[in-house]
Amino acid sequence: MKKKLVVLTGAGISAESGIKTFRDSDGLWEGHNVMDVATPEGWRKNPALVLDFYNQRRKQLKEVEPNLGHQILAELEKEFEVYIITQNVDDLHERAGSTNVLHLHGELLKVRSETNLNYILDWYEDLNFGDMDDEKNQLRPHIVWFGEDVPALDRALEITQSADFFAVIGTSLQVYPAAGLIDFTAREIPIFYIDPKPIKIPNLRNPLQVIPEVASKGVEIMRNKLRSFI
């Protein structure tokens, strides 16, 4: 049986494809304060701004492609049972060929009812006022905003606890609850941490291999290290 590799990815892996992150600079996301476009309060205050913001992100997503980091993770399915838990809302892992992807923070190419969490639709074009669910409730981006619950968290914990190897790629480990997943790995399983600016991980009970590289280079190094365990 294949060993299970569980990978937590963040904005750093998508940044190499041209998708910007706000945590590397001044707290702005594509020129907007994140509190204005990624919170329930921002939605209530100015829904037109929020709709336009995600419409622009959806258009941007069509212009970028998966990078080598995404591609190698997909290729690793030939050798390992790979599960990707991503904080990213893009579909670059899927487009690279990964088949087990769990989106903690929602998906840019989906929308949901403002009132019914289970009413979710695939959505590839602009989302506008007047786009409604079956009960005439406005549709909103299928994004988990700051301050909202993370519905996929229980499944993420279950996957993490069953890992034979765990990897953290391109995430600052600052956004919870995603950052806390590393604490739920089985004791002593190997952990790989890929980031050009790695932080110290306190109280870690696992053997840790830090790879201070961008995702595309770091994942290649990790693949070679993983093969030594087979």
Active centre residues (catalytic): 105
Phi, psi of 65 (to 5 degrees): -130, 155
For residue 45, what are its two tokens?
């205050």
* Amino acid in the structure at residue 20: K
DSSP lists the bridge partners of residue 8 as 85, 168
Contact 139, 112 (CB under 8 A): yes
Query: Could you tell me the CA-to-CA distances from 26 to 39, 46, 145 in Å, in that order?
Result: 18, 22, 19
Residue 23, CA atoms < 13 Å, CB-side half-sphere: 11
**In angstroms, what CA-CA distances link 85 with 42, 155, 203?**
26, 10, 22
Identify the three-state secondary structure at position 138: strand
CA angle 65, 71, 76 (to 5 degrees): 160
